[in-house]
Structure 1
């Protein structure tokens, strides 16, 4: 099975601007992306100041035709989902949404990139926002761990500097610095567009010529890069941080993407540490209990040296032993038979790349990445082909050449207190109707045929979640979910992982507020084999004691890490303060006490009680014959007992309350929670719009608290709908000295929303944004399978989520105002703040 050749084409506009176009008429959506080939490594005299990232923020403040607020309103009214990001070597701006809004999206993006207004009155305000973002990064262990690695392994390279910049250098940036940097780097030579979706190519090119006619051909000012020279010996660096376990990384310097050894090194990373059947996972995590997590990865950029790395989370006392074990596993590869593992790794890569083509956004990103890295729109296909020709001798050669002590960098972030493109027939194919049927034992099966790609997504949804737990069994669903793949009566965990990885299939078990979901995705020819394994894992897990200890320890480690994150701490207090100590008031990971009390017998009893046909729904979506798929499911799940549906106990709400917590961090956070709606409540659609209104960059929270007042780096809302109730919450992150002011303004904004709902003049825009987001989400096969299974499990028709747009369109401002008054009245609020203890 080969990766398809692209159907995209590249074009050069009159001013030299390159445009990559891929027309795909299977869904009425579009992804528009502008890639500026400049990032933190190109900052020259401003290296380390984060001017690329600052510039990314500032282009949202207005353009030649739009003010900052008008930009947000225009994109929202057009149904767009937009954002941007900055990396070492690029800054990317994108808008995804309905195809009918393509011209609007392109006008907005082209003006943001080439015609920003850069209002001076917004400059210092936005710098204040980024200062809080810098502080947040210093509080984040993953961010600190990345800085530690790059500044050590790339000590003489511009990539050693954080993309966001250092505070003292960032503070020196002036408005004129930003204007000059934009003029030098945001040029037609240095920028290209990547567009995928439902459009007419010639019409689109004509429109692009029209809106860019007054943008002159420009050439970027060159920046002299000093890439990392050849490493001449092992580098070791350790730092401490407020984390429960060490974050260990072993990284080796490798050549750039143009080198013929790039493909073997990439494939080696997959073989060594990608997936549950990988050598590192099986031989170290599963057999030795030396770490909580382990994996390997490769960063092989164009034109610059790369890194091959192994990363792990490990208890400090086991760190050095783990390091030795990793090196031993690499040494053993020299004498191992690698042929089967090579085939598995190539298939995993092929399967992963297929998944990237399922959305317009994924296709546009793939094409843009190909152009950015190789000026070859078929680079993904060519690279996968190159991977397929890698031999075992190639792998042994790159191990001997690159994974040597002279090229090795070892870093660890330790706990404090220590000293140390698709064919046309596929593109035009359509999804068929969703079907539902009941199997012989009462199990519900949902199917949908979608032949556009040779892939299948499977979801097995079981009604469990927090309503099935008590204080004594808190965390049991999460622990059971982590243990179910650890072996069955007929297959070991390694056999399960090896079989799934060999097929390039993805597989996992997770739990949420209401359900446990076992999900898998595979290539269509592997459906029966995948279903066989999934059925085995769901029905006959053995839950081995050694794995129980490992997973329990990993969950406890995660709990302890959450205790160091201000927002996690706030929400952990918010839930029980709203719901009391049971049901949705419980923490999904449990507590250390409850986890220590859970043994194998308790887990088996919980599994036996809830994993039954009456309490489970299976969805199989993709390139299938629905009747044949039903026959497979009937055969594999015939022995699942009928059982009974879980009955959730009604949830009591607590009185409104306020809680001020202390945590020794740089930032402060605030959460405000309200009792929400159940999944069956008729007000759910009104609350969906209120949630979108409050989370959008054009909404009242962002524009008032973040933009106008500059009181928070982030401010947003979140909600969930449970079986018999729900939660609606607001949250923000701010500086400690602004916490009280930020709280007053957030509560005032909530009061306005509770009283007025969504203003009439804003409602159509909010609806358009919600409808566009819904259309974008429904591109993804896995999401459709998951939502259909959950809908059916909760008692709705399996296409319930697809009918939501009808309800959204009918909602009036009065409907939304009534829901806001019902659910967001301040006398129901629970307020939790977390601020530094010093």
Structure 2
């Protein structure tokens, strides 16, 4: 594709390529003006109208003389207009090169634009518009354009809009020519059996006196990146439907264009293409399929389309997406890509077999990149493409959430029918890895977000009395460095990517997780596994963690309600693990060593003892492999054995705790049951009914009697044990009355249960809370992991509405009677010191 380039003094660029294979030539004049350069007349079709008018006579030749003159020289003339250029060309005998050039130059420079001829030609163009209006394929193309673009002129059809076109006058059309048809906005391409130097001299002779004029290039508006799905439908009287999916892509000169061209070929060119094979041959739901990548230098569109029966419109939309998603997930096979590359290269090479093709390829490359080397570079890029290059291009540009779905036909598709079909999934997939780790995956591509939660049994039930708080201390210590990451690197790695890291503990588990954007899930998994498997647990880090945990313990001692609740808990579970909290005590935390932390982690962070839950924009098959790789070194180990902690008979106590506070706190607590008991459901509804501002407790104690600042209830359910608390914040002088009234209300509850109205309200409030808990991948991942690690099964959360709905007033009355016996209540008071002393 060697060629010579010369720029004349008037700014006209001339490209000449010698090819003496045949005594033929192609002479082309390229004007760098198309439908996107119409400025205030954008959408009028001026560029296309000018193309028509250049054949209607010049100051030297009539329209007939132009056509007859070309014919006499053995030439064939034509022209075309696209978004960013208008090209006039004559193919013919090489010996008549200068003759062809003279006629084209006359047309470009001296066309008369007679008003009467313009009126006639406008009627011709109107008939052309009408033909397009009758053609569903043309209407589909226009609909794809105006749906994919909002600001760029690519949104308009090249031929223009009839309403705007009808307003065009002779001066408007001629003004477009005067503005754009200047030598410094044009170039000439000549390819064939010519002498390059002699041809350059001829071009100088014919076009050298073309006056250069001031020219300010048209600055195209920047099209905003599409951030959401778009939908459009045009009713059309046809027995068939036409459906297209479109995506914004970069322009012709972008580095990804070769990959996008081949991707389009793989998806929609020929009988062996993916879309044709799947939709037409295999499923029989489409009559024809196509795919292409097109546009201008600034931007473009990748679109696929099908022709189908109206009843198959939605099915075809979904099927196209499935084919594209499969390409994004797996890419093309090597043999499939090789075939596509051969076909694409073959097409390009066949184009080079003709002088017209050579000139066109040189002209396109020059217009697009300003380089004569572009054709070779393009073919070189094509030949080096790999399956991963194609897959990456599909993943980068063909996103579900930025797709424009358009259709033309008598059938109006349901809004978002193509995309919503696979937008969510309620199914959780459960896997057991080789090392015993349980993996739960829920695919939810609604947003490009992913939440990862790793849970490992530990905490209060497995801590000894003298090591209380070691789970929480060791969880915090994980963040103090690994073999490959510093504390700062651990903190910043996900934050710098817009994500978040979770590393903590609760009543009976370690909880380590990450919230990341799609594409960062492997980074999140790598960081989590690094924390769990490679933490260095430095001694100086322990001192920092210890200091913070002691501060938390101290903070709890400053809050009178927490003090009362903690004391009630200690009394209810006396002699059992849950008498302690996850924080431990000042004494135990001060005594903890790195060895203690390492021992707890070593026994807890093992496969059989863990659950990894992942919810978000993932594919289960893909994320499973990533998890297996990240946690390959996690030892199998054994599941922690957590036994039931039965209630022991004991004499109720009523401790009074003095504090330097002005308010009085009253907590009345009862021993109940653990997570696995069905009675937890009834107790949950009692908790709900007694905790809001419409509860009998609030109405009676606060509103009617004015005995409390606040009043409520709280259920605690853990592995093997549970408790239920009622609490009141009141004036120290009114604490006796508040206790008396609270006990009376609890006794009535134990005897009579809840009213039907209270149960209905509690169930409604619970359901609202349950639904709110599903807002976000993180809360769902945590719920699945929590229920699975505690032996309830990940599906427990989704089964709760039916179970709650099935709870009867008799169930509630039975549970209240069984557990809320005021004779067995633990009653704790926190009082001002002067009140206790008095």
Larger Rg: 2
TM-score by length of 2: 0.48
TM-score (norm 1): 0.48
**Structure of higher RCO (CA pairs closer than 8 Å, 6+ residues apart):** 1
